[in-house]
Structure 1
Amino acid sequence: MGKRGPAPRPLTPIQRFTAFRLVYRNGATMQDIADEAEVSRMTIWKWQQREDFAKCYEQEYRNMVQRVRSRWRSKVR
């Protein structure tokens, strides 16, 4: 049994920006982020269901955690 539909396209710059903004919300709501990306909240929700979008989000989240940890370590010392 094969896959359904065509293979997903690579993430667009808007999708990568949205993944970044979901990590770095700074108090922004989902609607605020959707407005910045000029898409609907439903579109963002659909993107979040994509495996490649989820991986991009997770990588950005890990990068953020590393930056916070390194800043914290430099302040503690």
Structure 2
Amino acid sequence: MSKRGPAPRPLTQEQRWAAFRLVYRQGMTMKEIAEEAGVSRMTLWKWQQRPDFAKLYDQEYRNMLRRFRTRGRRV
């Protein structure tokens, strides 16, 4: 079975930043994060549906957890 359509484009800097910001949102809403990225809330939601965006988000989330766990052990 072959793929349909063009190959997905790599993530842009804005998309990478949005994934990072979603992990470290510090009480910000989706709307506020979208506004900072210069896109609509719907566009941000569509980005979240992309497998490569979701993978980047998951990686950053795991990195955040690892940092918190490491800090906890040092105390």
Unaligned runs of 5+ in 2: none
Q: What's the counterpart of residue 22 of structure 1?
A: 22
Letter in 2 for 1:13: Q
Identity of aligned residues (%): 71
TM-align CA RMSD: 0.8
Q: What's the counterpart of residue 61 of structure 1?
A: 61
Secondary structure of the residue aligned to 2:34 is helix
Does residue 74 (structure 1) correspond to residue 74 (structure 2)? The answer is yes
Aligned residues: 75
Q: Tell me how far 1:72 sits from its aligned partner.
A: 0.8
Q: Tell me how far 1:49 sits from its aligned partner.
A: 0.8
Letter in 2 for 1:40: S
TM-score, normalised to structure 2, is 0.95
Unaligned runs of 5+ in 1: none
Q: Tell me how far 1:2 sits from its aligned partner.
A: 2.3
TM-score, normalised to structure 1, is 0.93
CA distance in 1, matches of 2:73, 2:5: 48
